[in-house]
Amino acid sequence: MRVMKWTSTAVTHPDLATAVQQAAGQVFEGLDRQEPDLIIAFVSAGHSAGFAALGALLAREFESAFVFGCCAGGVIGGGRELEDLPALSLTAAVLPNVKVRGLHVETADVPPVFAERRMWEDTLQVGAHEDPAFLLLADPFTFSADTLLRGLDRAFPGSAKIGGLASGGRQPGTTALYLQDRLHRSGAVILSMTGDIKVSTTLAQGSRPIGDPMFVTGVHDNLIRELDGRIPREVLGAVFEQLPAADRKLFSEALYLGIGAARDRSEYHSGDFLIRSILGLDPKSGALWIGDQVEPNAVVQLHVRDALSAAQDIERSLRAHRQALSGYEPSAALLFSCVSRGTAFYGQPDHDSNAYRRIVADVPVGGFFCGGEIGPIQGTTYVHGHTSVFGTVGPRSRK
């Protein structure tokens, strides 16, 4: 009887055809010589000359596997996080009693957010009653994922949705998105999985709050004019004066704004915020420019980011995730991590992969370093930055 089985590998041979052959051999070994049903492939920018050939190379090695993937600034697989060199990651699975479907969409193909659920189901080619889990990969230059994510949350509220924005491309037309044997240079590719499969999610943002939560009392789009009735420049100055020396350095170099993900809370803690970049202060008014639109009366809080904070955050998130699994033993994990994480940030390789295998389960972990990470906070799915999003995968039928 076939049972669910996952494996993951990453190879660094500079010739892509050879890398595919080596990775395929390791996949078959990891799957006990079984043919996989799904191949999730991530290929680094060091292989950009071979992006167009990857689909055909994988088809030669795998007769019937569904291929899904994209280009990447760095790849994750086989216990390694490989950055800044030619690399290929393959995460493969034998999926009995699981149906895998995929499609490519451009922005014009995405239904309106408040369209009837039936329109979303027809577009995605899957019904909400099937309780699908979604993997999403998007081109950062041509596709805004926000409408897609809002619509998916509305039409499929109980479904897991994780993924990332492809990295490794430098301008429109250089991104590679893979769906079966097709290469797409724009839009997004969406994979749905239904049947005997369960995907549980968690994320670690790598930032910690400083100061106190505040209300946005004056705002226009992404320009915050007042915080608790005060000019943002004055607020930042007051927070800075109260910080210890180490945090003052971070304040100058790694300051972010957290936007409360839920408005019905009396208290906010680390992980309750959507972290966004601070773009600067308006020199005349003292207003604050940030990298997202903010609604009036939103709750916000300043955050700083460093390796220690990120390590503590991922420990906290993964321990809570392990507890939430309630003894469930997963088969694998998918990791979508920001390109700003990795060895240069932590000062050591493979940090987040190792943390998952140490804290949650010693299972195959595959993924890539993204230009934006897709995952949920407080039941709503967002595109994040500087974050690691994990999807824990296993059969639904496992007790």
DSSP 8-state code for residue 35 = P
Q: Has residue 397 got a pLDDT over 90?
A: no
Q: Has residue 271 got a pLDDT over 80?
A: no
DSSP line for 63-94: SSPEEEEEEESEEEETTEEEESS--EEEEEEE
Return all residues near 65 (Cβ < 8 A) that are at least 6 apart.
35, 36, 37, 38, 39, 58, 92
Q: Among 149, 290, 128, which residue's Cα sits nearest to residue 222?
A: 290
Q: Has residue 273 got a pLDDT over 90?
A: no
pLDDT digits (tens, 9 = 90+) for 127-176: 999 999 999 999 999 999 999 999 999 999 999 999 999 999 989 999 99
Q: Has residue 83 got a pLDDT over 70?
A: yes
Per-residue pLDDT, 399:
56
Per-residue pLDDT, 35:
96
- For residues 331 and 363, is the Cβ–Cβ distance under 8 A? yes
**Which tokens is 42 given?**
């991530």
The residue-averaged pLDDT of 202-223 equals 92
* Amino acid occupying residue 210: I
Alpha helices by DSSP H, 196-270: 232-241, 245-253
**Which tokens is 206 given?**
């790598």
Per-residue pLDDT, 27:
98
Per-residue pLDDT, 229:
95
Provide the pairing of β-strand 365-370 with 332-338: parallel
**Which tokens is 391 given?**
């999807």
Per-residue pLDDT, 259:
92
Alpha helices by DSSP H, the chain: 16-30, 54-61, 117-124, 145-155, 232-241, 245-253, 307-324, 343-346, 351-359
Per-residue pLDDT, 327:
86
Q: Has residue 261 got a pLDDT over 80?
A: no
The residue-averaged pLDDT of 326-343 equals 94
Per-residue pLDDT, 263:
64
Per-residue pLDDT, 260:
87
Q: What DSSP element (H or E) covers 195?
A: strand 188-195
Q: Has residue 280 got a pLDDT over 70?
A: yes
pTM for the predicted model, two decimal places:
0.94
- For residues 314 and 358, is the Cβ–Cβ distance under 8 A? no
Per-residue pLDDT, 1:
76
Per-residue pLDDT, 265:
62
Per-residue pLDDT, 246:
85
3-class SS at 132?
coil
How far CA 210 is from CA of 296, 323, 357, in Å, comes to 21, 27, 30
Q: Has residue 270 got a pLDDT over 80?
A: no
Task: Round the average pLDDT of the chain to a whole number and report it.
Answer: 94
